[in-house]
Amino acid sequence: MAQILVPTPLRKFTNNLSKVEVNGGTIVENLKDLAVQFPDLEKYLFSGDEIKGYVKIFLGDNDIDSLNGADTEVNTSDIISIIPAIAGGKN
Amino acid sequence: MMKSSKVYIENKMKTLIKQDALREMILHAEQTFPNECCGFFYGHENEDREISTIQISPNTKEGDQRRRFQISAVDYMKAERYAMEHNLTLLGIYHSHPNHPAIPSEHDLKQAMPYFSYIIISVQEGVYDHVRSWKLDDEGKFEEELFKTI
């Protein structure tokens, strides 16, 4: 099973787990499996069936945007990282 | 968007920061003026949240960095890795507001995450003015934290 690395701010929704084993053939399937295991994560990861635009997903050291996006295939030894967007400004 | 808490509430979790760590943040904010600076801070959380270490991160915002900051995904990954390798907890993000009060804007709120503290440093004409810390409440609005140096 692949592993998802959960960023610190979202660990309150995964019983404080920083790594979760997931099932799925593609990135989006693995993320959906994560949301099934921990339903409170869904609103932070998905907008409908699409991965939220401000969430970056990495497969190993590669941004999935440089691969095949949400349909990128995932192997059982792969590590998927969820990276929250960090941005802001005074106005 | 936010609630300001001027009254100390018994038993409410405080965010405490080592003086050296705050000094580093302030120096970073002053040196980066008129642009916004940004970075991470780490520590531990028990009854209170204690910040012991900060880490400067490049502002990767394309465009006007006097009003905006952004931290790249790669730099964020490095921060999480740093926390794990040093047995620390990544507690939040700091950034500066040049010539502007340390109050979160709509832009600050848009991508704010639960759990994190958000420290904002106000710098007026290149000189530190004040600092405030904020955290999302259960309704997703910024609430000011009780913030002290130790």
| Contact call for B112 and A85, based on CB within 8 A | no
Chain B neighbors of A5, CB-CB under 8 A: 80
Does any domain span residue B105?
Answer: yes
Does any domain span residue B96?
Answer: yes
**Would an 8 Å CB–CB cutoff place B1 in contact with chain A?**
no
pLDDT for residue A12: 94
Q: Is the pLDDT of residue B117 over 70?
A: yes
Does any domain span residue A64?
Answer: yes
Does any domain span residue A90?
Answer: no
Mean pLDDT value of segment B95-110: 95
Query: Which whole-number Å values give the CA distances from B83 to B19, B87, B91, in the listed order?
Result: 20, 6, 9
Nearest-neighbour CA in chain B from A43: distance (Å): 12
pLDDT for residue A49: 87
Taking only the tens place, the pLDDT of each residue in A21-80 is: 999 999 999 999 999 999 999 999 999 989 988 899 999 999 999 999 999 999 999 999
Contact (Cβ atoms closer than 8 angstroms) between residue A77 and residue A30: no
Q: Is the pLDDT of residue B5 over 50?
A: no
Does any domain span residue A39?
Answer: yes
- Domain region containing A10: 2-84
Does any domain span residue B4?
Answer: no
Does any domain span residue A63?
Answer: yes
- Name every residue whose Cβ is closer than 8 Å to that of residue B103 and which is 6 or more positions away in sequence: B2, B97, B120, B132
pLDDT for residue B77: 95
Q: pTM value?
A: 0.92
Report the percent of chain B where pLDDT is more than 70.
93
Q: Is the pLDDT of residue B8 over 70?
A: no
Domains held by chain A: number? 1
**Would an 8 Å CB–CB cutoff place A83 in contact with chain B?**
yes
* Cα–Cα distance measured from residue B135 to residue A56, given in angstroms and rounded to the nearest whole number: 22
| Confidence band, pLDDT 50/70/90 cuts, at residue B11 | low
- Domain region containing B50: 14-149
Query: Which whole-number Å values give the CA distances from B150 to A4, A27, B95, in the listed order?
Result: 36, 44, 20
pLDDT for residue B12: 77
Domains held by chain B: number? 1
**Would an 8 Å CB–CB cutoff place B18 in contact with chain A?**
no
Strand order in the sheet with A79-84: A19-22, A2-5, A79-84, A55-59, A62-63
Mean pLDDT value of segment B27-34: 98
| Contact call for B116 and A9, based on CB within 8 A | yes
Question: For position A47, which CATH number holds?
Answer: 3.10.20.30
pLDDT for residue A91: 78
Question: For position B43, which CATH number holds?
Answer: 3.40.140.10
Does any domain span residue A89?
Answer: no
Does any domain span residue A73?
Answer: yes
* Cα–Cα distance measured from residue B55 to residue B25, given in angstroms and rounded to the nearest whole number: 9
Does any domain span residue A91?
Answer: no
